[in-house]
Amino acid sequence: MTGNDYQILAGRTIPENATQESMIQHAVFGLCSEAGEVAGIFQKVYQGHDIDREHLKKEMGDCLWMLAELCTAYDFDLNEIMELNIEKLRKRYPDGFSADRSLHRSEKDI
């Protein structure tokens, strides 16, 4: 499945009456909420719990859904976003991760 395939299938569950503004707000607040649920899974480690891998996968999927909704709201395609991110990482770390390159990034590297 490609990112665009996912975006189309996930988009079937966006309410029909959703506006661009409501989709943006839902996606941004939802992403924060779902990322918090991912963090909560790891927080439980401090209480003696093991990482629930199946739960983690589901919450990661919810994060992805929110990103797909945000892409849809802005008429971006998820494949392009994934490609842009890899391009940025290749420029930043042409030989793989480097702590030195991470610490000494150019001002234009966002």
Digits of tens for pLDDT over the chain (110 positions)? 999 999 999 999 999 999 999 999 999 999 999 999 999 999 999 999 999 999 999 999 999 999 999 999 999 999 999 999 999 999 999 999 989 989 988 888 88
- Residue 68's contacts (CB-CB under 8 Å, 6 or more residues apart) are 3, 6, 7, 10, 11, 78
Is residue 57 a part of any domain in this protein?
yes
Domain of residue 39, CATH code = 1.10.287.1080
For residue 88, what pLDDT is reported? 94
For residue 98, what pLDDT is reported? 87
Is residue 88 a part of any domain in this protein?
yes
Is residue 45 a part of any domain in this protein?
yes
Q: Which domain, by its residues, includes 67? A: 3-103
Is residue 108 a part of any domain in this protein?
no
For residue 22, what pLDDT is reported? 98
Is residue 109 a part of any domain in this protein?
no
Q: How many domains does the chain have?
A: 1
CA–CA distance, 55 with 98 (Å, rounded to integer):
32
The DSSP annotation for 54-85 comes to: HHHHHHHHHHHHHHHHHHHHTT--HHHHHHHH
Q: Do 63 and 55 form a contact (C-beta atoms < 8 A)?
A: no
- The CB-side HSE value for 16 (13 A sphere, CA atoms) comes to 0
User: Which DSSP category does 47 fall into?
Assistant: G
For residue 82, what pLDDT is reported? 98
Is residue 110 a part of any domain in this protein?
no
CA–CA distance, 90 with 55 (Å, rounded to integer):
31
How is the chain split among helix, strand and coil, in percent rounded to 5?
A: 70, 0, 25
Is residue 55 a part of any domain in this protein?
yes
Three-state DSSP state, 61: helix
CA–CA distance, 45 with 41 (Å, rounded to integer):
7
